[in-house]
Structure formats: C-alpha cells, structure tokens
Amino acid sequence: DIVMTQSPDSLAVSLGERATINCKSSQTVLYSSSNKNYLAWYRQKSGQPPKLLIYWASTRESGVPDRFSGSGSGTDFTLTISSVQAEDVAVYYCQQYYSSPPTFGQGTKVEIK
C-alpha cells in the first residue's frame, strides 16, 4: 500500500495569512502515460464529512474558493491556503488514488492563531 505522510500535524495561522500543508507519498502517484498525479485534498470541518477541494493534485473542485491551490508532482505535494479565513478551521487530508487501496494522510489540523 502507498503510505501518505502529511506535515505538519497541526498549524496555527493568523487570519489572512498563508497556510501551507505538505504531503509525501511512499511511491510516485504520477501516471506517466497521462502525466496526471492521482492526488486529492479534502477539508473536514468538525462534525462534518470531508469535502473535496483539489484533485489531479492541482484542479480545484467546482465551487471551491481560489484561495485554495494544490501543487507538486511525483511524491511531494502541497496544499496552500493563500489567505486563511475563519471557516478554514478544519482538518485537511491528502489522498492518493494511483493504486488500490486508496490511502489518506493522517491529517493536518489548521487553527487560527
């Protein structure tokens, strides 16, 4: 199974500041024939199900604010929140879907400083 490791486990950011979350996979999730990274990001607010933010490592899901962006390729990926809002307090997960079973990172908790 592909192991997904996120860093940091938690971070506190001031309102309006940038937040950066990293995700590393134990093997590549880049499918060479399509040049697509099989990597997704989710936000899970307290008491709610996860919500898809980003797929193919950098494609924003419909309706997701443009302050969320994804980058990276191969084994190293980043989710950036350019200007953190109060509603972004949540746990964020990366997930690979390159191979079965799909696996998630352990989560990164974002709080307001």
Partner 1 sequence: EVQLVESGGDLVQPGGSLKLSCAASGFSFSSYEMNWVRQAPGKGLEWVSYIASSGSGIYYADSVKGRFTISRDSAKNSLYLQMNSLRAEDTAIYYCARNLITGGTYPAAFDYWGQGTLVTVSS
Segment lying near partner 1 (by CB under 8 A), choices 13-21, 22-30, 47-55, 74-82? 47-55
Decide: is 72 part of the binding site for partner 1 (CB under 8 A). Answer: no
Residues 78-97 that bind partner 1 (CB under 8 A): 93, 95, 97
Of 40, 20, 19, residue with least CA distance to 29: 40
Q: Residue 15 and residue 23: Cα distance in Å, rounded?
A: 23
Among 21, 50, 72, 110, binds partner 1 (CB under 8 A): 50
Assess 102 for contact with partner 1 (CB under 8 A).
yes
Q: Which is nearer to partner 1, 16 or 101 (CB)?
A: 101
CB of 12 to partner 1, least distance (A): 20
Residue 63: which residues within 8 A CB-CB, separation 6 or more?
A: none
Residues 67, 113: Cα–Cα separation, whole Å: 19
With vertex at residue 7, the alpha carbon angle to CA 101 and CA 9, rounded to the nearest 5 degrees, is 95
Q: Give the count of residues interacting with partner 1 (CB under 8 A).
A: 22
In the chain, count H helices and then E strands: 0, 13
Hey, what amino acid is at 69?
S
Which residues lie near partner 1 (CB under 8 A)?
38, 40, 42, 44, 48-52, 55, 61, 93, 95, 97, 100-107
